[in-house]
């Protein structure tokens, strides 16, 4: 039944043009990061790693979370329009399959987004004159950050399910990301879901600072189980409405 739900969700997105958003918006932090690198090149001596500090400063702190939120708001927007919520609630499928189908599609989106950002980062590095190719470690940071993105996706799906507004959950993601940046700098990143994405990506750092992989994995697991459980519980207890 989960497979059928995934197929249904894909059909809902068939005529959406979200790919344009995810193609275009990451260009902005790429340009900002490269410009910041060139403006401070006299102080940034670690080549690809230094460029990463500037690129991730903008992308992770201000763009990644809201981009996930845009996707999550869109895939719930269909259910909030007209009487589609009533149709959803009367479908002969488990509530868990509905939520997990949306989450798996959001996860696919986050991973694809991260790979595209990796491509843009590589191109920007060559344009600013860096030698060779980006270190494989940075690709690992991007993919590790997508695990934090999965937690954000679960939270944003919950928020977009509960809040009918398209824009409000996106604004929450932006505020959450800014708060995550501040908490991460204070050493409290493990207790805030938006900070986990930044920690996974090693945002604004040129060396790996994730000193506790086990703690990171535990925090990811706790938040993911919490948000998914809350989402399924809400679906099971939300009545059909007129």
Phi and psi of 118, rounded to 5°?
Answer: -60, -40
Given a cut of 60, is residue 82 above it in pLDDT? yes
pLDDT value of residue 87: 65
Asked if 54 and 37 touch (Cβ cutoff 8 Å), the reply is: yes
The per-residue pLDDT for 235 is: 85
What average pLDDT does this structure show over 75-104? Answer: 75
Q: State the pTM of this model.
A: 0.90
Residue 186 makes CB contacts below 8 A (sequence gap 6+) with: none
Averaged pLDDT, 46-73: 93
pLDDT at position 95 is 77
According to the model, what pLDDT value does residue 9 have? 66
* CB-based contacts of 185, cutoff 8 Å, min separation 6: none
pLDDT range class, residue 189, cuts 50, 70, 90: confident
How far apart are the C-alpha atoms of 139 and 135, rounded to whole Å?
7
Considering only residues 235 and 126, tell me which one the structure prediction assigns the higher pLDDT: 126
Tokens for 72, please give them: 């999550």
State the average pLDDT over residues 42-51.
Answer: 90
**C-alpha span between 48 and 59 (Å, rounded):** 16
Write the pLDDT tens digit of every residue in 117-135. 999 999 999 999 999 999 9
Tell me what the mean pLDDT of segment 179-195 comes to. 90
* Average pLDDT over every residue of 87-93: 67
Query: For residue 241, what pLDDT is reported?
Result: 47
Mean pLDDT of 212-229: 94
Per-residue confidence (pLDDT) for residue 45, from 0 to 100: 84
Question: What residues does each domain of the chain span?
Answer: 2-237
Share of the chain above pLDDT 70, in %: 91
Spatial separation of the C-alpha atoms in residues 82 and 119, rounded to whole Å: 40
Predicted local distance difference test score (pLDDT) of residue 218: 95
Structure token digits, residue 210: 């994730």
Which pLDDT score is estimated for 27? Answer: 96
pLDDT at 147 over 70: yes
State the average pLDDT for the chain. 88
Task: Quote the pLDDT of residue 85.
Answer: 63
Angstrom distance (rounded) from CA 14 to CA 4: 15
* Segment 192-219 mean pLDDT: 89
Q: Do 22 and 165 meet the contact criterion of CB atoms below 8 Å apart?
A: no
Q: Is the dihedral of CA 33, 34, 36, 40 positive or negative?
A: positive
């Amino acid at each position: 039944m989960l497979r059928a739900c995934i197929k249904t969700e894909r059909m809902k997105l068939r005529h959406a043009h979200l790919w344009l958003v995810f193609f275009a918006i990451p260009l902005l932090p790429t340009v900002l990061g490269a410009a910041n690198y060139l403006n401070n090149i006299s102080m940034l001596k670690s080549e690809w790693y230094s460029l990463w500090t500037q690129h991730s400063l903008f992308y992770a702190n201000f763009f990644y979370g809201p981009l996930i939120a845009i996707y999550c708001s869109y895939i719930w927007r269909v259910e909030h329009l007209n009487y589609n919520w009533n149709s959803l609630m009367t479908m002969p499928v488990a509530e868990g399959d509905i939520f997990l189908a949306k989450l798996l599609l959001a996860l696919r989106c986050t991973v694809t987004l991260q790979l595209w950002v990796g491509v843009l980062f590589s191109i920007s590095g060559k344009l600013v004159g860096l030698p060779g190719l980006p270190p494989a470690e940075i690709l690992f940071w991007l993919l590790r950050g997508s695990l934090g993105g999965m937690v954000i996706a679960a939270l944003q799906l919950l928020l977009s399910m509960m809040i009918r507004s398209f824009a409000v959950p996106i604004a929450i993601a932006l505020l959450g990301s800014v708060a995550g940046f501040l908490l991460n700098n204070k050493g409290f990143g493990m207790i805030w879901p938006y900070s986990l994405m930044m920690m996974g990506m090693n945002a604004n750092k040129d060396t790996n600072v994730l000193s506790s992989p086990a703690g990171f994995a535990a925090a990811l697991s706790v938040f993911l189980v919490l948000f998914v459980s809350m989402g399924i519980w809400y679906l099971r207890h939300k009545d059909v409405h007129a």
